[in-house]
């Protein structure tokens, strides 16, 4: 099983494991170069105390001067624009140009558009994307509208700690009372062809429960998981990455449609199963993702 982008658009990046690192923690920042996560969120928001915000921004300036992380997506989570720190964070984003700016606690289309306007007005490259945290009741209710807010928006990240706080839903194994809301966010993201990242799992020492939640998230259609500890990277990569048997089946589908007699067919019979061209699109993306993983292993 795999978690990829919408079947109508090619997967641009792997986002199985998205590690959040406090920008105020210089020691943690030094360690990210040796980690096998797909993406790193450099957090300037919740994990950084108000009196440490300036120091955290300086830490990121030094880190980005040293050179980009190899084969990993770089994301900066800013403070909300309406706070005293938000605009300074955006000035930093424009200055050091990560690949993504992550906007916390998004509840309205206008919040995404405001970030997009700043990027355009300051001449930020078109490739600098926006991600949105969906972590409040209003954010969940407005997820479909937010997903279509701007062409720079590429991904949702679910934040359950704040959503639990805002709703009173208890933290329980299986997330039964949260599943309808999680699926609502997944559906909204997929409707607009953007990835959706599952929320953090707080108890990084409980490997068994983390495995179960990764399996659940993959089955629900999430692209990957936001992480809070390096120990969570390997299981996230495993659960949200291509299953070897699925890769073999995908390669068989691609080979079957490549035969001359299948060139103009929309449906073929493959080993007694009906296979449509939409399955071919899924197969091509799965094989492409597996190739990206293999190439990254060679470079590491």
pLDDT of residue 68: 73
Model confidence at 145: pLDDT above 80? yes
The DSSP code sequence of the chain is ----S-TTS---S--SEEEEEETT-HHHHHHGGG---SEEEEE-STTS-GGGHHHHHHHHHHHHHT-PPTT-EEEEEPPPTTSTTHHHHHHHHHHH--SEEEESS--SHHHHHHHHHHHHHTT--TT-EEEEEE-SHHHHHTHHHHHTS-TTEEEEEE-HHHHHHHH-----TT-TTTHHHHHHHHHHHHHTT-EEEEPP-S-TT-HHHHHHHHHHHHHHT-SEEEESSGGGHHHHHHHHSPPHHHHHHHHHHHHHHHSGGGTT-SEEEETTEEEEHHHHHHHHHHHHHHHHHHHHHHH-
Mean pLDDT value across residues 201-205: 94
- pLDDT by residue (tens digit) across 77-117? 999 999 999 999 999 999 999 999 999 999 999 999 999 99
Fold category of 17-240 in CATH: TIM Barrel (3.20.20)
The residues facing 101 across adjacent strands are: 76, 130
Residues contacting 174, CB < 8 A, separation 6+ = 212, 216
Output b/e per residue, 10-43; b: 16+ Cβ within 10 A: ebebbbbbbbbbbbbbeebbeebeeebbbbbbbb
- pLDDT by residue (tens digit) across 14-44? 999 999 999 999 999 999 988 999 999 999 9
pLDDT of residue 45: 97
Tell me which residue has tokens 């309406």: 82
pLDDT of residue 244: 86
Band the pLDDT of 3: cuts 50, 70, 90.
Answer: very low
The residues facing 157 across adjacent strands are: 133, 197
Model confidence at 8: pLDDT above 70? no
d(CA 120, CA 91): 13
d(CA 214, CA 212): 5
Give yes or no for a contact between 57 and 88, defined as CB atoms under 8 angstroms apart.
Answer: yes
Model confidence at 233: pLDDT above 60? yes
- pLDDT by residue (tens digit) across 33-75? 889 999 999 999 999 999 999 999 999 999 999 887 878 999 9
Mean pLDDT value across residues 131-155: 98
Band the pLDDT of 221: cuts 50, 70, 90.
Answer: very high
pLDDT of residue 9: 42
pLDDT of residue 1: 39
Question: What tokens appear for 102 in the block?
Answer: 């992550």
pLDDT of residue 80: 97
Tell me which residue has tokens 């928006």: 153
Domain residue extents for the chain: 17-240, 244-299
Question: What tokens appear for 111 in the block?
Answer: 């919040």
């Amino acid at each position: 099983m795999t978690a990829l982008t919408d079947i109508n658009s090619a997967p641009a990046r792997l986002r199985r494991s998205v590690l959040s690192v406090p920008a105020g923690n210089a020691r943690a920042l030094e360690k990210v170069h040796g980690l096998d996560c797909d993406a790193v969120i450099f957090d300037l928001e919740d994990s950084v105390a108000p009196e440490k915000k300036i120091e955290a921004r300086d830490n990121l300036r030094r880190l980005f001067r040293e050179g980009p992380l190899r084969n990993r997506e770089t994301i900066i989570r800013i403070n909300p624009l309406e706070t005293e720190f938000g605009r300074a964070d955006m000035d930093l984003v424009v200055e050091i140009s990560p690949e993504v700016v992550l906007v916390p606690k998004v509840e309205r289309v206008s919040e995404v558009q405001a970030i997009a306007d700043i990027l355009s007005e300051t001449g930020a490259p078109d490739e600098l994307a926006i991600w949105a945290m969906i972590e409040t009741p209003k954010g969940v209710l407005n997820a479909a509208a937010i997903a279509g807010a701007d062409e720079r928006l590429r991904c949702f990240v679910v934040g359950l700690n704040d959503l639990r706080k805002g709703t009173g839903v208890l933290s329980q194994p299986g997330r039964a009372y949260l599943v309808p809301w999680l699926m609502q966010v997944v559906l909204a993201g997929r409707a607009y062809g953007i990835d959706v990242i599952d929320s953090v799992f707080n108890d990084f020492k409980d490997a068994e429960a983390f495995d179960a939640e990764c399996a659940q998230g993959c089955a629900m259609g999430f692209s990957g998981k936001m992480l809070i500890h390096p120990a969570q990277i390997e299981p996230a990569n495993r659960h949200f990455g291509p299953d070897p048997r699925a890769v073999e089946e995908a390669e068989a589908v691609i080979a079957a449609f490549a035969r001359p007699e299948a060139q103009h067919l929309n449906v073929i019979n493959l080993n007694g199963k009906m296979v449509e061209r939409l399955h071919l699109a899924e197969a091509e993306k799965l094989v492409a993702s597996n190739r990206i993983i293999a190439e990254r292993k060679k470079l590491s």
